[in-house]
Amino acid sequence: MGKPKQYIEPVKNLILVVLFFTTMLLLYFFWGNPVLNSFKISDLIGDEAVEVPSYQSVTQPGRIVVHLGGGSYTVLEEEDFNAWQKYIELLQGLNPAEVLSVEEITAEQFDKIMEFRSIVYRFYYDLPQEAFLKRYSIKDIHGIDQIGEFSNFGFSSGSPESLFIYDGSKNKYYRIVSAKAHEEMDKLLSLVESSSNANYRRIGDLTGTANRTVIPIFLSTNMSELKCFPEFEDLNTIAVKEFAQTFFGESLDFVRQIHGSKGTHIYMYGYGEKVLTISASGKVEYKNKETSQSSQQSYFEALDTALQFVAAHGGWQTEEGMEMSPYVRFAKAVENNKQKGYRIIFGMRLRPESLYLESSHSVMVEVIHGQVTQYLRDMVYVEEPEYLKQEGTAKREAFSVINMIAHNYTYIASVLSESGYDFSGLEGEALFDAVSDLVVFVKAGYVKPEYAENKENVLFPAWIVNTGSTLIYFDLYSAEPLGHTDLWEE
C-alpha cells in the first residue's frame, strides 16, 4: 500500500513544470503580441542561426597581379589557383629560426625585383601587422615588428628566398629573407604562366610614361545590362517592420516612428540616441550615439563585430535574388571623441564581377570601441535567371581601357578636383599623364547609377576606375561616364 505514495512527489514535480510553462506561455500572450496565430515556436527558442561570413572569406586581396616576365601580366580572381591561401600558408609555415632577416628595401629595389616573374597581392587598405599575425597564427619573426601595416604582399622568382611586404601607411617596402627558397611560390607562378592569358600591361608601356598600374589591353565579354531591385521596395511591409525590430527589440513601443514626406521611414529611440532611417529607395542608415561600454578592438575584432552585426540586422544576403559574396573593399581607422575604431566598406560580388553603387555602398559599418556606431545598407538584388541570360549572348569587345582614360581624362580631373586634387596649370597630355598616374586599378564590374525616383533600376556593365579615394565609372562598351563614388564621403 506504500507504493502509490512513491509517485506523489514526481507527479507534483510534473505538475509544477506544466504550470511553469503554462505561466510562461500566458505571459507571452498577455505581454507580447496577443494574436494567437502570430505565435511561433521560433520566437521562444530563437530563429535558426544567422549566417556570418568568416573573416578569411571577406579578407581577400583587391587584386592579385602576376608578372609573367617580359612586361606581360595577368590578374587572378579571388579563387584562382587558391593563390592567396597558398601565400597565407607560406607565412604560417615560416620558421623564425630559418628567417635570416627582415630588412627594409627601397621602392626602386622592389620595382626591380618585380621585373622578374613575380606575384603581388594588393590590398586597397592596410592590415595592422600585429592583429594580422595574431589572427592568421603567423609565428613571431624577429624584426617583423618594424613593419607597421601590411598593404601588399609579394614574391619574385628573382629572389626566391624572400617574401616582400609593402606598408602603405609608411610607404615603405620590406623583405623577409629565409634560408631557403620558397619553391611552392615558384610552382604557383609556373602554373599561372601555363594556364593564363597574359592580357594585362602597364599603363606606362602603353603611354610611354613610368606608370606601373596594370590594365587589360583587351576584354571580350558578354556582360550585359541587368535589371535589379532594391531590398526594400515597399516600406509598409512586415519585412521592414521585422528589420526595424532587430535594432529596437520586438516591441517598438518606446520608439518614435516618423513617416517623412518623401516616403522615408524613421525609427528613433530616446532623444536620437539610436536612429534608423529607411529611404523610399530602400537605402538604410542606422546611427547609434549611445556611449560604448566595450573596450577598444583590434582591426579583426572590429571586423568580427561588423560581420555579426550585419548578420543580425538584415543579413548578408537579400531575401530574394541570386547569392552574392561579401568582401572588405576598403577599411580605415577612425576616431570619435578620443575613442578609436574602424570604418569598413563591404563590396558584393556577383560571381565574379563586383557590384558598385554610385555615391553609395552595399554595406558600410563603423565600429568604435567595440560598438557599431554607424551602419549603411544599400542592398540590391538580381534575379538569377536574369544574370544567367547574358551568358547565352554573344561576346562583345569592351572599350579600350587606355582610350577610355584618354577620352575622359578631363572629366576624371574634374571629379578628382572636387576631392581636393589640384590640376591647375595642366592641360592636354600633361593633364592626361597626371590623371593616369593616379589610377590605382581599372576593372570590369556592374554599376548602379543613382537615378531619380521611379526610374527603373539597372546595373550597367562598366569599367571601374579606382584612384585611391574615388571610384569613377564608365560604360564598358561606350566609355560614357556613369558616375562616381567618393569612398570616405560622410
Partner 1 sequence: MRRIISVLLILSVFLCGTVFAAATADPAVTIVSPSQTVSGNNLLVSVKMTAPKTIKVYVYEEKEKVGDTLVSIDPAAVAEEGFSSKTLYSVSLITPETFEGTGDLQFYNKQIDDITPGLYRIKVEVIDKDNAVTASSTHRTVVMPKDSETATGNEIFQSQQTGALQWVQNLIKSIFKN
**Residues at the site binding partner 1, with contacts judged by CB under 8 A:** 68-72, 100-103, 105, 109, 112-113, 115-116, 142-143, 145-146, 156-159, 175, 177, 198-199, 201, 205-208, 217-218, 400, 402-403, 406-407, 409, 428-429, 432
- Taking the least distance from each CB to partner 1, the nearer of 205 and 304 is 205
Cβ pair 202, 73 in contact under 8 A: yes
Between 102 and 278, name the residue whose CB sits nearer to partner 1: 102
Shortest distance in whole angstroms from residue 143 CB to partner 1:
3
Kindly tell me which of 113 and 307 has the beta carbon lying closer to partner 1: 113
User: Contact, 445 vs 464, CB < 8 A?
Assistant: yes
Q: Which is nearer to partner 1, 67 or 377 (CB)?
A: 67
Closest by CA position to 63, among listed 438, 357, 353, 441 = 441
d(CA 316, CA 308): 10
Q: Alpha-carbon distance 335 to 77, whole Å? A: 33
Between 99 and 188, name the residue whose CB sits nearer to partner 1. 99
- Return the ∠ at Cα 380 (arms to 55 and 229), rounded to 5°: 160
CB of 185 to partner 1, least distance (A): 13
Query: Grid coordinates representing 162?
Result: 624572400
Please give the grid coordinates belonging to residue 368: 568604435
Pair 413, 35: CB distance under 8 Å: no
Q: Is 303 left (phi over 0), alpha (psi -120 to 50) or beta?
A: alpha
Judged by beta carbon, residue 201 or residue 343, the one nearer partner 1 is 201
Helix (H, G, I), strand (E, B) or coil at 206: helix
Residue 460 phi/psi, 5-degree rounding, is: -100, 135
C-alpha–C-alpha distance, residues 252 and 274, integer Å: 13
From residue 305, how far is each of 130, 301, 341, 412 by CA, in Å? Answer: 18, 6, 11, 36
Q: All 3 cell numbers of residue 163?
A: 617574401
**Closest distance to partner 1 from the beta carbon of 331 (Å):** 24
By beta-carbon proximity to partner 1, the closer residue of 305 and 400 is 400
Alpha-carbon span 366 to 302, nearest angstrom: 9
Name the minimum Å distance from CB 193 to partner 1: 10
Which one, 13 or 106, has the nearer CB to partner 1? 106
Minimum Å distance from CB 456 to partner 1? 32
C-beta closer to partner 1: residue 43 or 115: 115
- Beta carbon of residue 245, minimum distance to partner 1 (angstroms, whole number): 49
- Residue closer to partner 1 by CB (options 43, 111) is 111
CB of 417 to partner 1, least distance (A): 19
Q: Which of 203, 194, 165, 219 is nearest to 69 (CA)?
A: 194
* Residue 230: its H or E element: strand 229-230
Find the Cα–Cα–Cα–Cα dihedral 239, 240, 241, 245, rounded to 10°: 100
Write down the least CB distance from residue 70 to partner 1, Å: 2
Name the minimum Å distance from CB 100 to partner 1.
4
Q: How many CB atoms lie within 10 A of CB 279?
A: 19
Alpha carbon distance 217, 203 (integer Å): 9
Give me the least distance between CB of 184 and partner 1, in Å please: 18
